């Protein structure tokens, strides 16, 4: 079975219940040679993508529909020579959203 959580006591089903609306995968341990195009090609076979954003050695892959197939099929596989780790992304917490809204409001007043 594919590893889907930092907490081994959480099963895939538990994560589905905790984060039912999450359609974004967090992909880590990416080699420097992995591009957004490579990620898009690899993940698009599992569903329609909204966008892919790579940052340093990790990326966020946004799907139109929630489907764990990419997570289960690609987690632990090698991409450009490195084994990748995939989990459902955690949605931003409410306080983080509030702080971001405050920062944006402050910027617009300048």
DSSP string spanning 49-75?
EEEEEEETTEEEEEESS---HHHHHHT
| Alpha helix stretches (DSSP H) within 1-110 | 12-18, 36-44, 69-74, 94-109
Higher-pLDDT residue of 18 and 79 is: 79
CA angle at residue 70 from 11 to 55, to 5 degrees? 100
Reported as a pLDDT band with limits 50, 70 and 90, residue 69 is confident
All structural domains of the chain:
12-109 (3.30.70.330)
Query: Which of the residue ranges 19-28, 61-70, 79-88, 101-110 has the most confident prediction, judged by mean pLDDT?
Result: 79-88
Higher confidence at residue 2 or residue 43?
43
* Cα–Cα nearest to 88, from 100, 2, 9: 2
pLDDT confidence bin for 68, thresholds 50/70/90:
low
Does 102 have pLDDT greater than 50? yes
The answer to whether the predicted template modeling score (pTM) of the entire model surpasses 0.85 is no
Give the number of other CB atoms < 10 A from CB of residue 31.
Answer: 14
Give the count of beta carbons closer than 10 Å to the beta carbon of residue 22.
17
pLDDT range class, residue 12, cuts 50, 70, 90: very low
Q: 40 pLDDT exceeds 70?
A: yes
């Amino acid at each position: 079975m594919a590893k889907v959580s930092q907490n081994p006591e959480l099963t895939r089903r538990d994560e589905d219940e905790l984060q039912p609306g999450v359609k974004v995968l967090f992909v880590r341990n990416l080699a420097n040679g992995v591009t957004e195009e490579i990620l898009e090609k690899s993940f698009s076979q599992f569903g329609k993508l909204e966008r892919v954003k790579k940052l340093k050695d990790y990326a966020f892959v946004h799907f139109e529909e929630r489907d764990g197939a990419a997570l289960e099929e690609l987690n632990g596989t090698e991409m450009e020579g490195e084994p990748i780790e995939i989990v459902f992304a955690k949605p931003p917490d409410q306080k983080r959203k509030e702080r971001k809204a405050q920062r944006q409001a402050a910027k617009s007043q300048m």
